[in-house]
């Protein structure tokens, strides 16, 4: 699949900038961009995310059933290549990440089969990283 994409921008609250810097920078390996005492830009696999300090930030703890799992909502993340996904899963396990949904394959043998994993940042924001063996399945309908 060859689709030209422009980077997305996502700004979201965190309740501790130092913890966000350590998590997104050290654990996920995102390069830090500009920052102030109230926000930090990160290169999130070619996309711009911005953590904004809100000491009272507490994401909602809601889930939705998907393929037998309780998926946290809201959540965000990136669709990686399978090699990138495998490398990130190993990196997260090496950092003793507490997964909400451990690295797994969802919809095995079905349309939309995908590797996926869910975890929380230190402020409780849910992230999902996924990968498809066949990227053409990303937007396919049954």
Enumerate residues 6+ apart whose C-beta is below 8 A from 53.
13, 14, 15, 16, 17, 37, 38, 39
**Whether pLDDT at 2 is above 70:** no
Q: Which pLDDT belongs to residue 42?
A: 98
**pTM of the predicted structure, to 2 decimals:** 0.89
Q: Tens digit of pLDDT for each residue in 90-124?
A: 999 999 999 999 999 988 888 888 999 999 999 99
* C-alpha neighbours within 13 Å on the C-beta side of residue 58: 2
Q: What is the longest distance spanned by two Cα atoms in the chain?
A: 48
Q: What is the mean pLDDT of residues 34-47?
A: 97
Distance CA 24, CA 120 (A): 11
Q: How far is CA 59 from CA 76, 79, 97, in A?
A: 13, 22, 19
Question: Is the CB of residue 103 less than 8 Å from the CB of residue 89?
Answer: yes
**Whether pLDDT at 50 is above 90:** yes
**Whether pLDDT at 1 is above 60:** no
Q: Tens digit of pLDDT for each residue in 10-24?
A: 999 999 999 999 999
Distance CA 108, CA 25 (A): 32
């Amino acid at each position: 699949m060859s689709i030209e994409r422009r980077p997305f921008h996502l700004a979201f609250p965190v309740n501790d900038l130092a913890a966000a810097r350590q998590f997104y920078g050290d654990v996920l390996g995102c390069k830090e961009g500009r920052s102030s005492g109230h926000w930090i830009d990160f290169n999130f696999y070619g996309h711009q995310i911005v953590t904004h300090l809100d000491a009272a930030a507490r994401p909602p703890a809601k889930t939705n059933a998907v393929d037998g799992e309780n998926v946290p909502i809201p959540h965000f993340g990136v669709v990686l290549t399978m090699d990138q996904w495998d490398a990130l899963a190993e990196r997260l396990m090496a950092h003793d990440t507490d997964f909400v949904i451990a690295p797994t394959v969802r919809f095995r043998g079905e349309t939309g089969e995908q590797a996926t994993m869910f975890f929380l940042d230190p402020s409780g924001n849910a992230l999902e990283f996924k990968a498809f063996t066949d990227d053409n399945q990303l937007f396919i309908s049954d």
